[in-house]
Amino acid sequence: MEEYIFNPVIHLKDKKMPLRDATLIQLAQKRRLYYKICRECGSRNAPTAEKCRKCRSYNLRWKKREIKR
Ligand SMILES: [Zn+2]
């Protein structure tokens, strides 16, 4: 399941994705709402990330939002 975290297709096209991938959408939504953001460069990181994958900074903050549906 971890490989879906940074799938750019899901992030960019989840609004247009057909309903047949409802499970995938749900997963993507969850992943999209629960991740860490680097305070240094602003890039998204995995929920399990200890440090930024771009600038290697440990200055990460949680991104948490409620699902609006
Ligand atoms: Zn960073």
Please name the helix (run of DSSP H) or strand (run of DSSP E) that holds residue 45, with its range, or none. strand 44-45
- For 38, the 3-state DSSP assignment is strand
* pLDDT for position 19: 59
Model confidence, pTM: 0.49
Centroid of ligand 1 to alpha carbon of 60 (angstroms): 8
Q: Could you tell me the residue ranges of all domains in the chain?
A: 2-64
DSSP-derived pairing of the beta strands 44-45 and 34-38: antiparallel
Better pLDDT: 5 or 24:
24
Centroid of ligand 1 to alpha carbon of 62 (angstroms): 13
pLDDT over 80 at 8, yes or no: no
pLDDT band of 38, cuts 50, 70, 90: very high
**Exposure of 9 by Cβ count < 10 A (0-12 exposed, 13-18 middle, 19+ buried)?**
exposed
Q: Are 4 and 11 in contact (CB under 8 A)?
A: no
pLDDT band of 18, cuts 50, 70, 90: low
Centroid of ligand 1 to alpha carbon of 37 (angstroms): 8
Q: Could you tell me the fold of the domain covering 2-64?
A: ZNF265 like (4.10.1060)
* pLDDT for position 11: 54
The span from the CA of 47 to the CA of 49, in Å, is 6
